[in-house]
Structure 1
Amino acid sequence: MTHEHFTMVFNIAYTEADRKEDLETMTDASINLRNLGWIRQNPYSNKPNLLLDDEDDAIVEELKYYKKNGGCSMVDNTTIGSQRNVEKVKEYSEASGVNIIAGTGYYVSQSHPPEMNTMSTEELTQIMVNEINNGVGNTGIKCGVIGEIGCSWPLHANEKKVLQASAAAQTVTSCPVIIHPGRDQAAPAEIIRILQEAGGDISRTVMSHLDRTFFSNENLLEFAKLGSYCEYDLFGIETSHYQFTDIDMPSDAQRIAYIKTLIDEGYEDKVVIAHDVHTKHRLMKYGGHGYSHILLNVIPKMLKRGISQDAIDKITIHNPRNWLVFNE
């Protein structure tokens, strides 16, 4: 699973519910069976739902379940600005036996530290290189990916600076990169161009969230030609309403159909998948699909829809491994 979260705090995503009468009763309510249906439709309008950093026992239990069902590794995309906690994630890994790869870099501009405005690309590059080669702070815990690097639409000047630093850090370390693109179908190609101009290796870069970015096979395949990994990482979200924009969020069945198109057109070596769990309601503890959903439910559906076991092995084993392996 190339795109998950374990300690993320997503306060910047809070969005008022469409029904104003729900604000008083639902905004601060704890998750329970009576309001779970509402939270599934309005996940970013319930403030407790945005705090994933206090679910230690539930997450360890889920990771053990993931391992029991054949899971081995996960990438934690929680970066600076979204409550990254590499020490806690190391504890999760040791308690569960699941290998977890930590990320370096910065999330979207709203979450950047105040000093970002005055930091140079070179300074940002050095921070990432140091976290990859030496570890985060004094923890000794080294990062194994650059990202998720957060981008908005339109792209903020500081986000462009972080992209350029990410490409530079990748050049120094060969570390893989993973991107959170802005919510517009033009965003991924713009990001690829910026990374290329800064010397980044697009073949070692994952473009996340294609689920909510491309809505036709034509646009998807046009992007795939650029050479990055194509990631469908919102598996388990079956709600058509997407609070951030007016798009129709695809279902898991539609995600599988897009992936089959990529495979049929020769891109099976460039597909990776995940759930991007980043809110409480998606944990099994709260009636969610959990981190094992792809293993238990999606892969059997993929087989039924004509995707071969060899292709599935590429998507869930070989492609992530090829992307992640690098030399310091």
Structure 2
Amino acid sequence: MQVQTVLGPINPSQLGKTLTHEHLSLDFDFFYKEPPKQLNDLFTNEISLANLGAIRQYPYGSRYNINFGDADTHRNVIEDVLLYKKYGGGTIVENSSHGLKRNLRFLYDVSIGTGVHLIAGTGHYVYNLQSESHLAMSVENMVKLYIDEIKNGVDLNGDGKTFVKCGFIGEVGSVYPIHEFERRAIEATAIAQQELGCAVSFHPGRDSEAPFEIIRLYLEAGGKPEKCVMSHLDRTIFDFDKLLEFAAFGVYCQFDLFGTECSHYQLNPTSYMPSDYQRIENIIKLSKEGFTNRLLMSHDIHTKHRLVGFGGHGYAHIINNVLHRLITYGLNVEQVDQISVVNPADWLSFSLN
């Protein structure tokens, strides 16, 4: 069993502390939301001390902030990944799939330049970010695409010399109710997963029923629960009894918005965004219920303001500010290592033969 990074296969024991849901480069412009009119003059093509507070409240109201693929972003991402390594980070799983304009060339270069293991994803994000050609894909063609990008890789330069192989399928995105294209993508993910034995990761719509519907479709199509991650549960299922019901499926329950401490959720204003304390509380409660080996944590960084260079918490936030709090509030060192090191390695490892 090995883990497939952008630089090639490694032993799972080499991963170290692992973030299982991050982005290093993507296009999030589709999710732009108008900020309050009285604050319009603060949303300029820069982030400064004068407007950082407003951007933290309304991060999707700044087109500059949600441009996560420009030179400013890339320069700061590299510095942030280096900080992550400095503080003990080993691996980052990059979840930009088809529809998010993933940048495999950048991932390859960052991994070489920083020494941090990076794992790239294949699969499809939500339907309304897809091109017409991808929207028309059959389940069979999706399966072929996913398997090809994992087994053979993507030609970075078009010259047949440098290939990056994806190491998992994700993030596979859907809205709610689930669009017909997304149903095909979920089915294709399950079929490819069953054939390869690889890891998969799902992005649910912003409704508490969405994770249940995704898992039902995935399991019916033959996907293995023990290789499946459900992302964003911290902003999706708020009732603990319902969270416990979902955990019983045996999939990985991922709390991946650590560092987001603004309760106003601009992408779903009728709901709210929990705090890090609430995330920690749910992780500890699930651990006490026997699900320690089915828990994962990350930040889902995809906007500039969450990078250290723009005044944010950065990729090292969980290492520096969360892991010790898990111990303070009731977990032991072995349980924290299980969540931050062992679980990611178990999830990501599969036979590459």
**2:69 matched to which residue of 1?**
53
- 1:193-216 C-alpha deviation (Å, 9 max, x unpaired): 100111111110000001101112
Supply the AA of the counterpart residue of 1:10.
F
**2:7 matched to which residue of 1?**
none
Distance 1:173 1:185 in 2: 30
Supply the AA of the counterpart residue of 1:227.
G
**1:72 matched to which residue of 2?**
90
Q: CA deviation at 1:27?
A: 4.3
Distance 1:136 1:147 in 2: 16
**1:105 matched to which residue of 2?**
123
1:173 and 2:196 are equivalent in the alignment: yes
Contact 2:253 / 2:296 at 8 angstroms: preserved in 1? Answer: yes
1:294 and 2:312 are equivalent in the alignment: no
Bigger mean CA deviation after superposition, 27-36 or 82-91: 27-36
More strand by share: 2
Distance 1:117 1:237 in 2: 32
**1:317 matched to which residue of 2?**
341
Alignment length (residue pairs): 326
**1:207 matched to which residue of 2?**
230
**2:8 matched to which residue of 1?**
none
SS of 1:266 mapped into structure 2: helix
Supply the AA of the counterpart residue of 1:78.
S
- 1:277-302 C-alpha deviation (Å, 9 max, x unpaired): 00000000011000000000011111
Supply the AA of the counterpart residue of 1:316.
S
Q: CA deviation at 1:28?
A: 4.1
Q: CA deviation at 1:115?
A: 1.5
Contact 1:106 / 1:150 at 8 angstroms: preserved in 2? Answer: yes
**2:37 matched to which residue of 1?**
20
Contact 2:231 / 2:255 at 8 angstroms: preserved in 1? Answer: yes
Distance 1:186 1:272 in 2: 20
Identify which of 183, 198, 202 aligns with 2:206. Answer: 183
Whose RCO is larger (CA < 8 A, sep 6+)?
2
- 1:86-144 C-alpha deviation (Å, 9 max, x unpaired): 11101111111100000001111111111133211000110110000000245411000
**2:151 matched to which residue of 1?**
133
**1:235 matched to which residue of 2?**
258
Distance 2:44 2:180 in 1: 34
Supply the AA of the counterpart residue of 1:226.
F
Contact 1:116 / 1:158 at 8 angstroms: preserved in 2? Answer: no
Identify which of 232, 235, 246 aligns with 1:223. Answer: 246
Distance 1:38 1:31 in 2: 10
Identity of aligned residues (%): 44
Distance 2:47 2:30 in 1: 19
Distance 2:310 2:253 in 1: 30
- 1:223-242 C-alpha deviation (Å, 9 max, x unpaired): 00011100000000000000
Supply the AA of the counterpart residue of 2:38.
E
Contact 2:204 / 2:211 at 8 angstroms: preserved in 1? Answer: yes
Q: CA deviation at 1:56?
A: 2.2
**1:38 matched to which residue of 2?**
54
Structure 1 ranges of 4+ moved more than 4 A? none
SS of 2:55 mapped into structure 1: helix
Supply the AA of the counterpart residue of 2:135.
N
Q: CA deviation at 1:173?
A: 1.2
1:277 and 2:277 are equivalent in the alignment: no
Contact 2:127 / 2:135 at 8 angstroms: preserved in 1? Answer: no
Structure 2 unmatched ranges of 5 or more: 1-18
Bigger mean CA deviation after superposition, 95-104 or 25-34: 25-34
- 1:256-291 C-alpha deviation (Å, 9 max, x unpaired): 000001100000000000000000000000110000
Distance 2:34 2:75 in 1: 30
Contact 1:151 / 1:181 at 8 angstroms: preserved in 2? Answer: yes
Alignment of 1:299-310 (within 5 A): 299-310=323-334
Kindly report the root-mean-square deviation, in angstroms, between the aligned alpha carbons of the 2 structures: 1.1
Contact 2:175 / 2:205 at 8 angstroms: preserved in 1? Answer: yes
Supply the AA of the counterpart residue of 1:53.
G
Distance 1:65 1:286 in 2: 14
Distance 2:215 2:292 in 1: 20
TM-score, with structure 2 as normaliser: 0.90
SS of 1:88 mapped into structure 2: helix
SS of 1:2 mapped into structure 2: strand
1:82 and 2:100 are equivalent in the alignment: yes
TM-score, with structure 1 as normaliser: 0.97
